[in-house]
Structure 1
Amino acid sequence: MRLSKKQWIQVLVSLAIAIWIFWFLYKDISFQSLVDALRETSFFWIAASIVVSLFGFYLRAWRWKLLIEASEDTSIDTGKSFVALMIGYLTNLLVPRAGEVARCGVVSKMEGNQMGTLIGTVILERTIDLLFMVFTIILAFILENSLFVNLFTDLVSVRGLYEKMLNILPIVIGGGLIAVIFLYLLFQKYKDAGIVKKARHFIRDLVFGLMSLKKVHNQLGFWSSSTAIWVTYYFALLFVAWAIPSTASLSLSSLLMVMVMGSIGMVAPVQGGIGTFHALVAFILMAYGLSNEEGKIFAVIIHTSQVLTIIVTGLICIVFFFKITSEKTSKSL
């Protein structure tokens, strides 16, 4: 996928913001502190987290396969949808949100499916994920309502608010810049459409997309896998928490809140949620009594393990992709 000069500038700006936020968070954390924490970390549980994450990726690929088959009335091997999915995740680490188009391009190249239809399935998939994310946030709020009350009590204190603002000011600035970039891109895409017309189109596409779910033959499998995907997210985080002494004693409901904050951080239009993920996860862990250093070290360990998993698996999938397409080309000659 080729990027224009303007797109490259946008990518570099978002990367610079992500690196800046990450640098601000970790500038006071010594490398030796991280090394000491790794020495106390159980790599058995880290490995278990990676295995669960890979299973979650496979479930996502299988669910996407169901949507593709429903939209085009054709069959696709789950292994190929997994290859495309992981290449998409790898692309997202370089260019935010480009992975969704990249994985559609990979499937189109391997199977000959229409790009428009494939992108429609991805949009529908993301809509379902959004609904599950909202449900997870509501569940976390119900289970951890006392935390929200305590945070609100701290914030209504003028002095406490002033101190917190000083601590998160660079993050707020970075987040503001990301929001400006996002709104600019949104404006450029819909500058010829009125706000009412745009909202109407969005709602119409959303309704049509949800209605198209009726075409999925395996309804039980689709909704079960959608639920299981979020369960794997939770267990992947839980196992990393068990691996690190400072987080091993956290309650199950508090780790659900950590997962919610991490998920919100990953939504930000920066490469791999760099900076935003770490900031939100460290913030909520400090609310549970962990030190600033402990929260940030946990965030960097879980994020790094996930990123390395995506990089290694994505590179392996690229090899399989070239093998599949070369075999397809040779057969057509």
Structure 2
Amino acid sequence: MGRKNIKQFIQIVISLGIAVWIFWFLYKDIAFDSLLDQVKSSNWAWILLSLSISMLAYLVRSWRWTLLIDTEEGKPVSLTRAYHAVMIGNLVNMLIPRAGEVARCGVLTRTNGVSIGYLIGTVIVERSVDLLCLISIILLAFLVEKDLFLNLASQLVDLRFLWQIALSNLPIIIGGMAILALLIAYVLRRFRDNGLINKAQHFFREILSGFNRIGRLSNPAGFWISSILLWFFYFMTMYTISLGIPSTANLSSGEVLLVMVMGSIGMIAPVQGGIGTFHALVAFILIQLGISEVDGKIFAAIIHGTQVIIVLVAGLVSWLIMMKLPSWTKPAEG
């Protein structure tokens, strides 16, 4: 095993260890019987509807990816193959954080002959748009539940105190920001040949070129509509499952939106499948909404657990299907 492989293995073990520790810390005092009782008392018609919407979201994500894969090399990527590749990627992410993005690209490179570098570029565009959508959702949650949003923020930091400090030191803050901007510009020019800075600049250039690529797609409207629809389905997945669980059935749509925001932030964390971080943030926001600590943690476990089952089952099925397909070979010229 090379040094690079050892480093990657250590990173995987550490991230998994953190995830397991957070999960254990959250649930060590909750009896399994409490979880079982909540599961039995839940309305599974709503939960099954939530799972169906979740599967629809995966299809929309797959369709959006096919719109980005606008290349003449290899074989055109069908919705079916894009879906199977996406599910395989989600399955790999459950084992190795972020590796699923490369895995789903590798699958299509093998079966359709599209270069992996090009496909990774499309994934970067996807993730950039998803980040933009998440920021928009956070702003929407702020507008819909402004008072609750500010109340939660004030529990973490004293907003009034910070605002008073900012006002009393406004010239210093403006001057400091100007100096920081000049310092960043100097560092970028002075160390433009540094590997880390080159990578950062290349990353942002890739994002900008990706957004330009969207405008040149054959169906840019479809791409943006599918992106909005994707996050709508994420919300509906959360909303319908909240209706199916007695402790959260009375939450308003705005409150569920806040829960979704916290869950999405938890899934971004570099741990396997958001294990632990998702549960902690979702339980935290539910407790602030008046749900008991036990019920909040059980809700997080149910929604995350059902999603994990979908990914495991659908991901394994997709992997079996794609592995049976022959590798793509370039047609002989002439």
Contact 2:92/2:103 (8 A) holds in 1: yes
Q: Paired residue for 1:226? A: 227
Partner-residue secondary structure (3-state), 2:247: coil
Take 2:301 and 2:261, find their aligned partners in 1: how far apart are those partners? 16
Q: C-alpha displacement at 1:323, in angstroms?
A: 2.0
Take 2:215 and 2:71, find their aligned partners in 1: how far apart are those partners? 9
**Runs of 4+ residues deviating >4 angstroms:** 70-74
Take 2:35 and 2:56, find their aligned partners in 1: how far apart are those partners? 28
Deviations 1:98-125 (A, max 9, x none): 0000000000011011010000000011
Partner-residue secondary structure (3-state), 2:95: coil
Deviations 1:293-312 (A, max 9, x none): 01000000000000100000
Q: Paired residue for 1:4? A: 5
Structure 2 vs 1, CA of residues 311 and 123 (structure 1 numbering), >3 Å: closer, same or farther? same
Q: Which amino acid aligns with 1:94?
A: L
1:21 matched to 2:15? The reply is no
Partner-residue secondary structure (3-state), 1:246: helix
Q: Paired residue for 1:173? A: none
Q: Paired residue for 1:177? A: none
Q: Which amino acid aligns with 1:288?
A: L
Deviations 1:36-72 (A, max 9, x none): 1011111111111111011100111011011012585
Take 1:77 and 1:155, find their aligned partners in 2: how far apart are those partners? 47
Take 1:280 and 1:320, find their aligned partners in 2: how far apart are those partners? 36
Unmatched runs of 5 consecutive residues or more in structure 2: 159-191
Q: C-alpha displacement at 1:149, in angstroms?
A: 2.7
Q: Paired residue for 2:52? A: 51
Q: Paired residue for 1:63? A: 64
Take 1:73 and 1:324, find their aligned partners in 2: how far apart are those partners? 15
Take 2:193 and 2:140, find their aligned partners in 1: how far apart are those partners? 37
Structure 2 vs 1, CA of residues 248 and 94 (structure 1 numbering), >3 Å: closer, same or farther? same
Identity of aligned residues (%): 49
Deviations 1:128-185 (A, max 9, x none): 111111100010011111113323444468xxxxxxxxxxxxxxxxxxxxxxxxxxxx
CA RMSD of aligned residues (A): 2.3
Q: C-alpha displacement at 1:198, in angstroms?
A: 4.6
Q: Paired residue for 1:255? A: 256
Q: C-alpha displacement at 1:6, in angstroms?
A: 1.6
Take 1:207 and 1:95, find their aligned partners in 2: how far apart are those partners? 28
Take 1:194 and 1:12, find their aligned partners in 2: how far apart are those partners? 25
Q: Paired residue for 1:193? A: 195
User: For residues 171-190 of structure 1, what are the structure 2 equivalents within 5 Å?
Assistant: none
Q: Which amino acid aligns with 2:195?
A: A
The alignment covers a number of residue pairs equal to: 296
TM-score normalised to structure 1 length = 0.84
Q: C-alpha displacement at 1:314, in angstroms?
A: 0.4
Take 2:71 and 2:128, find their aligned partners in 1: how far apart are those partners? 16
Contact 1:76/1:111 (8 A) holds in 2: yes
Take 2:92 and 2:151, find their aligned partners in 1: how far apart are those partners? 40
Partner-residue secondary structure (3-state), 1:283: helix
Contact 1:14/1:269 (8 A) holds in 2: yes
Structure 2 vs 1, CA of residues 194 and 47 (structure 1 numbering), >3 Å: closer, same or farther? closer
Q: Which amino acid aligns with 1:262?
A: G
TM-score normalised to structure 2 length = 0.84
